Amino acid sequence: MIVKGDGVINWQFGKPGPCLWISFLYEEIKGSDHLTVTKMMEEKVNNINISSEVPHEMGLEGQGFQSGADGLINGLHQNNIDKNTQRILSVRQKCAAYVLALRPWSFSASLTPVALGSALAYRAEGTIDFLMLIICAMTVLAVHGAGNLVNTYYDFSKGIDHKKSDDRTLVDRILEPQDVVRFGAFLYLLGCCCASCLYFLSTLKLEHLALVYFGGLSSSFLYTGGIGFKYVALGDVVILITFGPLAVMFAYSIQVGYLCLSPLMYAIPLALNTEAILHSNNTRDMESDKQAGIVTLAILIGPMLSYMLYNILLFLPYIIFCILATRYTISMALPLLTVPMAFSLERQFRSQSYSKIPQRTAKLNLLL
């Protein structure tokens, strides 16, 4: 700090970085108490490093003032460091919340049909375009993720989600509703951009591409948004159609360049297993859904029939795989290796230990 003849004290902050100059009237500071000086300094100082000098002319009074100022500035500097750290942690937590809101554990329901459709196209054509495969996967994942965000938003808006729900992104105020809306709109836009790229890369006709793509996009939104099929016990039908036949046909037709119904037979086991994910989720949330006044298939048929339906959805795909293996190729029997995992899920469902069972069913879906 340097005292000029007019009684003004100039403080230079920041060594070796940028300098910030703050001027105080010396006489005003001299007659002020510590609290007043602190407030004045807090108004002027932000993110600072201080280097101060006291000329000899100020004597002991100046040295005492320097000591107090150094302590004050160091405290303010540490406070700014803490704020920066909190800001960084807040950004990381928000990014993690966005990922959590996407429910990434459910993405196997999208990736598996894309992989199956592409494999069937390779078998039919003897070739595969990996760039189209990657963009196709991105398209389906974007629409799926956006649909999950729509589900999160409407479940929160209707009071379905609560402190004990599996998805508490909005309940715990980790994200605001407008954050979820913006992120969902971005993902739908990303999906449309990827679908546009596929139009230029694939020989599939525009009307056929639009039919399949917007059919899937509409289903992902209308599951909870708009009509809200989930809330009137029709969500299971939407999932059976979308995350099975539609997704497999989309991936297949992108590769071969034309629409074909032959992949639908292979999509049935995946569709059934994907429906098992949804049904286990709805069975787990049966009580909270009743309180919220919505109707799901699990509520309509009750716990006992829900258990029986889950077993059908879980084990019927294995029977289909056995039939396909005997008629076409023995490689279709490879999913039978996951039968022990299916029995483990059956035991957990029978004991009504529904915690994490949708996630475990999704893992089985990925292995199939």
Which structural domains are found in the chain, ordered by start? 2-93 (no CATH), 108-300 (1.10.357)
Per-residue pLDDT tens for 161-189? 766 666 667 777 778 889 999 999 999 99
- What pLDDT is recorded for position 325? 86
More confident position, 276 or 365: 276
66 pLDDT tier (thresholds 50, 70, 90): low
pLDDT in tens, 4-19: 444 444 444 444 444 3
If one compares 1 and 363, the residue with the highest pLDDT of the two is: 363
Query: What does the pLDDT look like over 113-124, one tens digit per residue?
Result: 999 999 999 988
What does the pLDDT look like over 201-256, one tens digit per residue?
999 999 999 999 999 999 999 998 888 898 888 989 998 888 888 999 999 999 99
Pairing mode, strands 20-25 and 2-3: unpaired
Q: What is the pTM of this model?
A: 0.71
Q: What's residue 333's pLDDT?
A: 84
